[in-house]
């Protein structure tokens, strides 16, 4: 009998020891997905002149290599998150890896710009699947006391991917050809896909019907609003663009009306009664809008006004990415212990200070070392905000709707990104043609002295606007309320979350 008990204990011990290993592998696979997506965000930018030349295309067409990815991920992230809740998040995540990897191969093989844009759209479908389910899988896998730390490691993925994109972008386009910026995803994707199939399993599914009407209305609304916003940046405000935006808003209102009457809604608006959940999403939206716009502006300034190459301009941002990678896991762990409110809010404050440094830096002959200082502050601020804010959102979402919550987080972030993009291009177009602003952004053109002076003035005004947008994010963050960290689930419809209002 004692021998039997001993064997039982040994088996239990093995099971206990296996779980952390599986958790680490799952986190590794998700982080690989994040790194791949992040690499693509910077490496494609650095390869634009090479792609334009090799495919004998023009800039107005090639810019859609970036824009189509933004458009598709913004449209699909919410709906695919909900599909993951119903059919299995692991299935959707692994499908996303497969689509992203295969599409990357065909992007590299694309013989024309139009075909490249088409496969970038397919790649974006895979990216949307990865984005909308990865956050939910982390919430499924890790206990309440460890979610923030896990999000800290995914934040490392974004920073590391951005750095690798910058370093590899210059090397690959110079010595191998732009096609390899896409081919590099293939072997990594195959390995990650195999690990995902083996280790990432569905632990929670819900018995629910797909809200086809709601998804259709949301898809039309987001498509019109995001495409309309992009057109504002590309062609300017016109009757057609205004019509697209108005029709998009009408479909958004129809979606909200439909969701409130649906038995199985894509977005359960009852979850917005949870102040922590609601304010954290608002903070994410305005933080994305303010932060990314400032980065766009800085890149345009360094390339257009100071005449730096895309590679050197991007290198000046590397210290920020490195600091973000160093601090993110620690900040995520602290959010597990102390909650998100203070940590995320201090992060936004640091981002505001960093952008204030950019504002001071943006003159015709200022020291570029101030850019490094601003980049460092923004990097540390991002390392504090992202894992803590994601932790707050997922800790206050219902377990049955983790995919929807993850998709909603990606949706508001992507719409914030598009809004930020529009603000920057419109601000730049106040002093130079929008087509020239795009060319500056990808490093294929620069400004003369007169254009530079006007551009700098416009940039300074737009950075002040972005700072005010970030202040709104900070207000949403500090007023979200403080939830007491606990191992017990905090799902509003199952057990009442412990909330200690400030």
Query: Percentage helix, strand, coil, to 5, in the chain?
Result: 80, 0, 20
Contact call for residues 108 and 183 (beta carbons, < 8 A)? yes
Position 241 pLDDT exceeds 70: yes
pTM over cut 0.85: no
* Residues 40-64, mean pLDDT to the nearest whole number: 79
**Closest C-alpha among 86, 76, 80, 95 to residue 33:** 95
Element (H, E) at 499: strand 499-500
User: Using CA atoms, how far apart are residues 123 and 185, in angstroms rounded to an integer?
Assistant: 11
- Rounded mean pLDDT of 430-451? 69
Contact criterion met (CB below 8 Å) for 134 and 403: no
**208: pLDDT confidence band, cut at 50, 70 and 90?**
low
Find the range with the poorest average confidence among 118-132, 439-453, 463-477: 439-453
DSSP letter assigned to residue 494? T
Look at residues 42, 428, 49 and name the one whose alpha carbon lies nearest to residue 232.
Answer: 428
State mean pLDDT over 481-496.
45
How many C-beta atoms lie closer than 10 Å to residue 498's C-beta?
12
Question: Rounded to an integer, what distance in angstroms lies between the CA atom of residue 400 and that of residue 304?
Answer: 49
Q: Could you read off the pLDDT of 59-80 as tens digits, one per residue? A: 778 888 888 888 888 888 888 8
The Cα 391–Cα 138 span in angstroms is: 10
Q: What DSSP state is assigned to residue 145?
A: T
Is the pLDDT assigned to residue 453 strictly greater than 80? no
CB atoms closer than 10 angstroms to residue 28: 14
Q: Provide the token pair at 229.
A: 């916003």
DSSP 163-216: HHHHHHHHHHHHHT-TTHHHHTHHHHHHHHHHHHHHH------------HHHHH
Q: Distance from first CA to last CA of the chain, Å, rounded?
A: 56
- pLDDT at position 7 is 46
Tracing tokens 């400032």 back to the chain, one arrives at 294
pLDDT given at position 71 = 84
- The residue behind tokens 């949870």 is 274
Give the pLDDT score at 283: 94
* Rounded mean pLDDT, 193-204: 81
Distance between CA 133 and CA 130 in Å, rounded?
A: 6
**Residues 46, 49, 52, CA angle at the centre, nearest 5°?**
125
State which fold the 18-210+264-500 domain adopts. Growth Hormone; Chain: A; (1.20.1250)
Residue recorded with tokens 């990594």: 188
Q: What confidence score (pLDDT) does residue 350 get?
A: 95
What average pLDDT does the structure give for the chain? 80
Name the band, by pLDDT with cuts 50, 70 and 90, for residue 20: low
Average pLDDT over residues 87-91: 84
Number of helices (H) and strands (E) in the chain: give both, helices first.
19, 2
pLDDT grade for 26, boundaries at 50, 70 and 90 = confident
In the predicted structure, residue 16 carries a pLDDT above the cut 60: no
For residue 334, give both structure tokens. Answer: 């602290």
Q: Report how far Cα 259 is from the mean position of its chain's Cα atoms.
A: 25
Identity of the highest mean pLDDT range in 93-107, 386-400, 422-436: 93-107
Tell me the DSSP string of 411-461.
HHHHHHHHHHHHHHHHHHHTTS-HHHHHHHHTTS----HHHHHHHHHHHHH
pLDDT at position 459, please?
81
- 186 Cβ contact partners less than 8 Å away, ≥ 6 residues apart: 101, 104, 105
CA nearest 69: which of 414, 369, 501? 414
Count of beta carbons in the 10 Å neighbourhood of residue 468: 11
The H or E element containing residue 229 is helix 212-234
In the predicted structure, residue 228 carries a pLDDT above the cut 80: yes
Residue 470 has a pLDDT of: 95
Q: Please give the torsion angle defined by the CA atoms of residues 228, 234, 237 and 238, in that order, rounded to the nearest 10 degrees.
A: -80
* Mean pLDDT value of segment 347-373: 86
Residue 14: both structure tokens together: 């093995």
What confidence tens digit (pLDDT) does each residue in 264-321 have? 777 777 888 888 989 999 999 999 888 888 887 787 788 777 878 777 877 888 888 8
């Amino acid at each position: 009998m004692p021998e039997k008990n001993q064997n039982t204990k040994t088996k239990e011990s093995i099971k206990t020891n296996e779980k952390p290993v599986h958790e680490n592998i799952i986190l590794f696979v998700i982080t690989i997905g994040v790194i791949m997506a992040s690499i693509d965000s910077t490496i494609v930018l650095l390869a634009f002149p090479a792609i334009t030349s090799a495919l004998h295309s023009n800039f107005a067409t090639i810019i859609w290599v970036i824009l189509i990815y933004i458009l598709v991920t913004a449209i699909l992230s919410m709906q695919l998150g909900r599909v993951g809740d119903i059919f299995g998040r692991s299935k959707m995540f692994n499908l996303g890896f497969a689509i992203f990897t295969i599409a990357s191969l065909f992007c590299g093989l694309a013989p024309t710009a139009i075909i490249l844009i088409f496969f970038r759209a397919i790649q974006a479908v895979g990216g949307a699947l990865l984005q909308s389910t990865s956050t939910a899988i982390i919430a499924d896998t890790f206990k309440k006391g460890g979610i923030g730390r896990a999000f800290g490691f995914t934040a490392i993925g974004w920073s590391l991917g951005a750095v690798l994109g910058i370093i590899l972008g210059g090397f690959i386009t110079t010595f191998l050809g732009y096609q390899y910026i896409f081919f590099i995803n293939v072997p990594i994707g195959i390995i990650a896909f195999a690990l995902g199939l083996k280790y990432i399993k569905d632990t929670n599914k819900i018995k629910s019907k797909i809200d086809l009407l709601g998804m259709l209305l949301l898809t039309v609304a987001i498509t019109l609003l995001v495409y309309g916003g992009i057109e504002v940046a590309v062609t300017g405000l016109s009757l057609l663009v205004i019509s697209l935006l108005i029709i998009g808003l009408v479909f958004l209102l129809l979606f909200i009306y439909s969701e409130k009457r649906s038995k199985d809604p894509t977005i359960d608006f009852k979850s917005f009664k949870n102040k922590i959940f609601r304010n954290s999403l608002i903070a994410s939206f305005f933080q994305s809008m303010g932060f990314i716009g400032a980065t766009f502006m800085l890149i345009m300034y360094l390339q257009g006004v100071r005449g730096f190459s895309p590679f050197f301009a991007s290198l000046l941002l590397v210290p920020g990415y490195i600091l973000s990678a160093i601090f993110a896991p620690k900040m995520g762990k602290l959010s597990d212990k102390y909650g998100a409110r203070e940590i995320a809010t201090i992060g936004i404050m640091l981002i505001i200070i960093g952008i204030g440094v950019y504002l001071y830096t943006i003159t015709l002959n200022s020291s570029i070392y101030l850019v490094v200082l601003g980049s460092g502050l923004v990097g540390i601020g991002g390392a504090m905000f992202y894992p803590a804010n994601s932790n707050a959102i997922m800790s206050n979402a219902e377990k049955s709707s983790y995919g929807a919550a993850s998709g909603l987080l990606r949706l508001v972030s992507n719409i914030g990104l598009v809004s930020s993009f529009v603000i920057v291009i419109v601000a730049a177009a106040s002093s130079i043609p929008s087509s020239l602003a795009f060319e500056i952004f990808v490093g294929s053109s620069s400004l003369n002295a007169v254009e530079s002076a006007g551009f700098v003035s416009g940039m300074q005004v737009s950075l002040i606007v972005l700072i005010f947008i970030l202040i709104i994010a900070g207000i949403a963050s500090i007023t979200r309320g403080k939830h007491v960290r606990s191992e017990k689930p905090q799902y509003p419809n199952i057990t009442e979350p412990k909330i200690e209002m400030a």
